[in-house]
Amino acid sequence: PKEPSGSLSSDSIKIKKEVANAFVKRKKRASPYEWYFEYYKSPMEQMHERCENYPPCDYLSDQIGFSLAYNRFFG
């Protein structure tokens, strides 16, 4: 039903929960390993973040590569 202003009312755009669940699925974790890696970062990822948070290292990693830049500043 349309309102006098010409827009649809909020009641006309609501759908039932069962219908919504048919096309909106929640992603489920396949294994405990996926759960673990979702919450804990690998040492390499921690190194990347450390370099990205230090502007000289971040700039140099774009020029000569991550491993050389990281070793220069933190190695």
pLDDT at res. 54: 95
Task: Compute how many other C-beta atoms are within 10 angstroms of the C-beta atom of residue 66.
Answer: 17
Q: For residue 6, is it within any domain?
A: no
Q: Which residues in the chain show pLDDT less than 50?
A: none
CA distance 51 to 30: 32
For 51, counting Cβ atoms within 10 Å of its Cβ (0-12 exposed, 13-18 middle, 19+ buried), the class is buried
The pTM (predicted TM-score) of the whole model is 0.51
The per-residue DSSP string of 5-52 comes to TSSBPGGGG---HHHHHHH------SSHHHHHHHHS--HHHHHHHHHH
Number of structural domains, the chain?
1
Q: Which two tokens stand for residue 67?
A: 């491993």
pLDDT at res. 35: 74
pLDDT at res. 4: 57
Q: For residue 2, is it within any domain?
A: no
Q: Give the structural domain span for 31.
A: 17-74
Q: For residue 3, is it within any domain?
A: no
The DSSP call for residue 75 is -
Q: For residue 24, is it within any domain?
A: yes
pLDDT tens per residue, range 6-24: 566 666 677 777 776 666 6
